[in-house]
Amino acid sequence: MTPPHALTAKQQEWIAHLEQAQQQNLSLQEYARRTGIKASSLYAARKWRSKARPQTATASMSFAEVRMTGASLDSAACVLHLTPGIRLQLSVLPSPQWLAAVCAQWSQRS
């Protein structure tokens, strides 16, 4: 998601605006109108961000096998193995949207 160099505070601010628009399911035009930001600035930020992103992000997506058995559930309803040595154990099964968000954020950091 981010370029190899550190982002400036201004770049982080524009990325936050882009993410807010997306989370609110608003077009950039509508988000700009509601926040009083120039739409052209948001479009420029989106263009910069798309160039700064690694283009292989979707190609590196993979799926993991999930097996559920009574003996392996112990007290956890869901166990995510993020990387070797990092496991997230949940007592209740989370929503698919939450799982998708965690996986998306984790893949951006790895």
Give, in order, the Cα–Cα distances in Å from 23 to each of 28, 72, 101: 11, 35, 11
Whether pLDDT at 109 is above 70: no
Share of the chain above pLDDT 90, in %: 16
pLDDT at 100: 81
How far is the CA of 15 from the CAs of 9, 33, 54, 109, in angstroms?
Answer: 10, 17, 15, 16
Residue 97 pLDDT more than 80? yes
Q: Give the range among 5-19, 37-51, 67-81, 84-98 with minimum mean pLDDT.
A: 67-81
pLDDT digits (tens, 9 = 90+) for 30-81: 999 999 999 999 999 898 888 876 554 445 556 666 666 655 545 567 777 7
User: Where do the domains of the chain lie?
Assistant: 9-52, 70-109
In a 10 Å sphere around its CB, with 0-12 CB exposed, 13-18 middle and 19+ buried, how is residue 102 labelled? middle
Q: Which two tokens stand for residue 81?
A: 């193995």
Report pLDDT for 36: 93
Cα separation, 76 vs 12, in Å, equals 36
In this predicted model, which residue has the larger pLDDT, 27 or 2?
Answer: 27
Encoding tokens for residue 61?
């997506």
Residues, the chain: 110
Sequence-ordered list of residues with C-beta below 8 angstroms from that of 78, at least 6 positions apart, any chain: 89, 90, 92, 93, 94
pLDDT for 57: 46
